[in-house]
Amino acid sequence: MSTAPHKPLAGVRVIEMAQIMAGPTCGMMLADLGAEVIKIEKWPSGDDARQYQKPGDSAMPPSFRMINRGKRSLALDVRTPQGKEVLLRLVRQADVLTENFRVGVMERLGLAYADLKPVNPALIYCSITGYGRTGPMAKTGGFDLILQAFSGIIAATGEADRDPVKPGVSIADTNAGILAALAIVSAYVHRLKTGEGQHVSTSLLQAAMQQTYWLAANYFSSGRETQRLGTAHSLIAPYQVFKASDGRMVIGAGNTKAWQGMCEVLGHPEWITDTRFDQPQQRVKHRAELEMLIEAVLAAGTVAEWCERFDGAGVPAGPVNSAGQALEHPQTRAVGMVIEVPDGEGGMMRGIGTPLTLDGKAEAATMPAPRLAEHSSSVLRDFGFEQEEIAALMASGVVQQG
């Protein structure tokens, strides 16, 4: 059980049947909030993400370690009658179950919400699918790349004169995990009021489409598709990456005050009343011309020098950091987004912390990501299984201990 009683989900038991990224992201967020997360894995391969390795990686891939800290692993064959019965015993004492199988898989296993609700009417059952649980593509499998393409995100990303590109992060997967955690917490509030559990769900499609607010606004209002603009914004200028003498930086002059402040800092107050730039729509229309003028001035100073000057004038600006530069930055450390956690092999590793601050605390679950089947025996004991039962389950191969 959770050892952090001050956390809001302390004492909540979560059975995670989800794998790879979206579901495990959800589970890690719940663990950070104090929940006890038990990861049900197949044997002998476990979560498919355990195989996502680059040459030189340790036995447990860094990507798996990153989003599975704070959990325990139970290797259980739920395809067998014995394994299914074990899971049902866990469900009777659980608060949440998460899964991200294709629509129909849990039904075939006899583990759909309709099957588990009679076992535990208070259970919150969370499904994450590729395309949603209804509609003509409901049974189609989905991956982050596919749904970023399907949703229009990739088509709108990249330079105008080049092929579209995928953003450098897994937007659909990560956002689906966050939305699933929000749905679970909302259902938990409902259960506290009524005593009733419920089936909640989201999908990679919904998570990706939720990121397209401004793309949709443009399309619904004009019937036009948003064109690729590199780092520029379709509705605001200047709001993009610019070159300084030693690197790249961003300037976000998104309102009149910031625009005027930027012109003053750059030493060109005449731009404020220039008819090419004096209105937001004009600045968007003449974006390319404005970019050339700005970069001609920025070339006389470094990124750090300009950022300091813009900050002093209240103009939003910042450096274009690499991932490493962002992770090493003292501000990132100050808000707790880099943490030290045990690596499970006697050492320590760095990870991404929780993005949530509660009552001034941003405390992440620091138990290391589990080895496959590492906690099988201890989980079953915690759920009331006798040692003789556990031994028999292991002898039959239904349960494995890593």
Catalogue the active-site residues: 173
Reference 210, options 167, 152, 271; nearest CA is 152
- Check: CB of residue 332 under 8 Å from CB of residue 321: no
Tokens of 271: 């731009």
- Check: CB of residue 156 under 8 Å from CB of residue 226: yes
3 state SS of 41: strand
As a whole number of angstroms, the distance between CA 96 and CA 197 comes to 9
The amino acid that residue 158 corresponds to is G
- Check: CB of residue 212 under 8 Å from CB of residue 151: yes
The amino acid that residue 252 corresponds to is G
Reference 103, options 94, 92, 112, 114; nearest CA is 112
As a whole number of angstroms, the distance between CA 115 and CA 119 comes to 8
Helical pair 171-194 and 22-32, crossing angle rounded to 10 deg: 50
Measured from the Cβ of residue 89, the count of other Cβ atoms closer than 10 Å reads: 16
The DSSP line for 295-363 is HHHHTTS-HHHHHHHHHHTT--EEE---HHHHHH-HHHHHTT-EEEEE-SSSSEEEEE--S--BTTB-P
Reference 266, options 299, 231, 233; nearest CA is 299
Reference 372, options 75, 79, 77; nearest CA is 75
Sheet hosting strand 248-252, strand order edge to edge: 239-243, 248-252, 317-319
As a whole number of angstroms, the distance between CA 235 and CA 238 comes to 10
Handedness of CA 54, 211, 254, 293 (dihedral sign): positive
